[in-house]
Amino acid sequence: MSANQVALWYLVASVSFILALKGLSSPHTARRGNLFGMIGMTIAVLVTLALIYSRSKNVLPILGGMAIGGTLGAIVAKRVQMTSMPELIAAMHSLVGLAAVFIAVAAVNNPAAVGLDVPITFGHKLELFIGTFIGAITFSGSVIAFGKLSGRIKSAPVSFAGQH
């Protein structure tokens, strides 16, 4: 698969995600939004697996991780009540932030493994710093949101002078 084909498929996936967000903005178009999201994610996963397979032929660990994660996700989704959905989303969102931090740390630890120049250029260092910073804020903020939504953290709302 050429670089142009990969870029095109990722562009199609990105547009699908944008259409998914647009569709999820209304109850009337939510099913279509979910469909666009599933299509976009399927394209992104398949293209990524094809890239990895073309380079190393070793996709078994990735498929195993996807199977384990999918199984755990299905179990959690079956057990969670609809009224508990906001805190579940906050908990899962915290994992996304934590993943961003771990990816940046792994890239700094072994830049060649993720296709970065050795030594890491300033632009990539800046990108990794921003990714780590935003990921850490996302993780901590989502953990706090989970605690507040689930009733485990009880505190008064925080307000700042000139907030409104």
| Predicted pLDDT of residue 23 | 93
Confidence of residue 35 (pLDDT cuts 50, 70, 90): very high
pLDDT bucket at 152, cuts 50 / 70 / 90: confident
Tokens (6 digits) for 55: 């380079």
Burial class (CB in 10 A: 0-12, 13-18, 19+), 124: middle
CB 93 within 8 A of CB 137: no
CA-closest candidate to residue 42, choices 12, 64, 18: 12
pLDDT at 9: 94
63 shares a domain with 42: yes
Give the pLDDT confidence of 74-98 residue by residue, as tens digits.
888 888 888 888 888 898 899 999 9
Return the residue matching tokens 């070793």: 58
Same domain, 74 and 90: no
Domain count, the chain: 2
Instruction: Tell me the pLDDT band of 157, cut-offs 50, 70 and 90.
Output: confident
Residue 72 and residue 84 in one domain: no
pLDDT classification of 51: cutoffs 50, 70, 90: confident
Q: What is the pLDDT of residue 110?
A: 86
Please indicate, yes or no, if residue 10 is contained in any of the structural domains: yes
Same domain, 108 and 122: yes
Domain's final residue, options 47, 79, 111: 79
* Structural domain includes residue 164: no
> Are both 2 and 17 inside the same structural domain?
yes
In a domain, 163, yes or no: no
Over residues 25-35, the mean pLDDT reads 92
What is the tens place of the pLDDT at every residue in 97-129? 999 999 999 888 888 877 788 888 888 889 889
pLDDT value at 31 more than 80: yes
Please list, in sequence order, all residues whose beta carbon lies within 8 angstroms of the beta carbon of residue 21, skipping any fewer than 6 positions away: 33
pLDDT, mean over the chain: 89
User: Do 27 and 61 sit in the same domain of this protein?
Assistant: yes
3 versus 38: the higher-pLDDT residue is 38
Expressed as residue numbers, the domain containing 126 is 80-157
pLDDT at position 12 over 90: yes
